[in-house]
Structure 1
Amino acid sequence: MPEEHHLTARNLLEQMNRQFNECNALYHELAVHYGVSDTVFWLLYTLYNSSEPQTQNRLCMEWNLPKQTMNSAVASMVKQGLLELEPAPGRYSGKLLHLTPAGRELAAKTAKPVYSAEQAALEQLGMAEAEHFVRLGQEHLNAIRTEFNKILQQEKV
């Protein structure tokens, strides 16, 4: 690969990683602003915006959160009266997470304005551009997962 392409790829990777980290920092800043941990923020956000029942296991898988981190956040929210646990019927494993009235009130003050801001940002991009961005992001994620798995497989030897 010519040197100029190598530098371009390096610059693109640096820019992509900076954007990723800045985006994470923006959400962290909001969590701090609202006086909650990042995990509690994402629980409030997900449960407030979800149209179907959620379990800890499912949220850990879908949001790539460590189980212990999730367990701690859930326990803290239950203790604060923000969350109730219900045994999951049939096809669900674990317990269903339900916001209490106090939890819904907190989510309305935290998750709702963030979701509204995210929607406004999407509207600024336009739906076609936003869909393109998401599609490319998923393609990049799939490709990087494949390449990272190669490294992990090599190091097992």
Structure 2
Amino acid sequence: MTVSELQLQFIRLYKEMNATYYQLAAAQELSPSEMDIYYTLCVLGDGCLQRDICNLALTSKQTINSALKKMEKQGFLWLEAGKGREKHIYLTPADKKIQEHRVRPIYLAEQAVLAEMGDPEQTQLIALLEKYIRLLQQRTANLQKEELQ
């Protein structure tokens, strides 16, 4: 297989994985941002911070903040003041049920898939993805947007 063919296959797989998560969110009647919020709360538990969601989901603070405000207005969660400007995020009891029935099964499926792969494959998968990302970041660090003329 040529480098170009490998590149196309990798991009297709990357896009397929993104589409899978998008479809999972849609099937649960959640926006991607709502899924990120429920998912992070599923992993880290009630009381996590907005920055925790941004860090886990690699999503902008503005995007998550907008989703949090919308969900708070709809009564899905509430925010409690923390240190400085920090706000801790808590789900309402009804939304804990949504999280348990809609998001936790996805989280558990991911764990099951990784467990099926076994330790050597898990380690190899993570190591190779980390290497690819690191090398890509190095190779593209100096790229700048060309101004349209």
Q: TM-score range by the shorter chain?
A: 0.7 to 0.9
Matched ranges for 1:61-140 at <5 A: 61-89=55-83, 94-140=86-132
Unaligned residue ranges in structure 1 (runs of 5+): 1-6
| Offset, 1:13 | 1.2
CA contact (8 A) 2:46 2:90 kept: no
4+ residue runs of structure 1 moved beyond 6 angstroms?
none
| Change in CA separation of 1:98 and 1:24 when aligned onto 2, cut-off 3 Å | same
Task: Name the aligned partner's letter for residue 149 of structure 1.
Answer: A
Identity between Structure 1 and Structure 2 (%): 31
Q: Which residue of 2 aligns with 1:4?
A: none
Aligned length: 147
Matched residue of 1:151: which SS? coil
Matched residue of 1:86: which SS? strand
Larger helix proportion of the pair = 1
Unaligned residue ranges in structure 2 (runs of 5+): none
Normalising by structure 1, we get a TM-score of: 0.83
Aligned alpha-carbon RMSD (Å): 2.1
CA distance in 1, matches of 2:119, 2:70: 37
Give the stretch that moved more between structures: 63-72 or 17-26: 63-72
Task: Name the aligned partner's letter for residue 38 of structure 2.
Answer: L
Normalising by structure 2, we get a TM-score of: 0.87
CA contact (8 A) 2:78 2:91 kept: yes
CA distance in 1, matches of 2:57, 2:8: 24
CA contact (8 A) 2:77 2:90 kept: yes
